[in-house]
Amino acid sequence: MPRDPLGFDYQVVLTNVRRATTEDLLNRITAYRAGMEPEAVELIEAELCSRGVTAEQIAAHAERVEREAILLADGIAARCSFCHAPAVGTGWRWFRLLRLVPIFPRLVYLCREHGAALPTGGDDRSRPNSA
C-alpha cells in the first residue's frame, strides 16, 4: 500500500503490530484507542483475532482499564512515565542530573509494575521516592 500523505504508513504499522505483545495490543485497542488512526485500530483488531483473542476478552480488558487506569480529559489513559502501560497511580520520583544527582522531585504516572515499588502500592503523593 502507498504511504498516506498524512503520515499513516501501513507497512510500518503492520510490522509494529505483529511484533507487539498481546498485552500491548490489548492496551492499545482499549486504553489508547481514542488517539489512534482507524486503520491502525483495524490492524490491531485483526491481529488480536488471529492470536485467538475474543471480543469478550477485549471487552473485559477495556472494563479493567476503565476501572483502574487514570483517564485524561480526552478519554485516553495516561501512560506510565517509565513504560507504555496505562498508568494506575502516581508517585514522586527524583529528577536526576546525569542520572546521579537528585535535583528536584517530580510527580510521575505509574503502571501496576512500576507502582509496586512504592510503599503504598503506587499512590504515594506525600514524599519523593529515590527510584
**CA–CA separation, 17 vs 45, rounded Å?**
10
In the chain, the percentage of residues whose pLDDT exceeds 70 is 84
For residues 48 and 96, membership in a common domain is answered with no
Q: Is the pLDDT of residue 6 over 90?
A: no
**Structural domain total, the chain:** 2
For residue 120, being part of any structural domain is answered with yes
Range of the structural domain that residue 112 is part of:
89-129
For residue 17, being part of any structural domain is answered with yes
Q: Is the pLDDT of residue 9 over 80?
A: yes
Residue 95 sits at φ, ψ, to 5 deg, of: -80, 125
Quick one: average pLDDT of 107-130?
64
**CA–CA separation, 26 vs 30, rounded Å?**
6
pLDDT at 40: 94
pLDDT digits (tens, 9 = 90+) for 64-117: 999 999 999 998 999 999 999 999 999 998 999 998 999 999 999 999 998 876
**CA–CA separation, 46 vs 77, rounded Å?**
22
pLDDT at 126: 38
pLDDT at 117: 60
For residue 117, being part of any structural domain is answered with yes
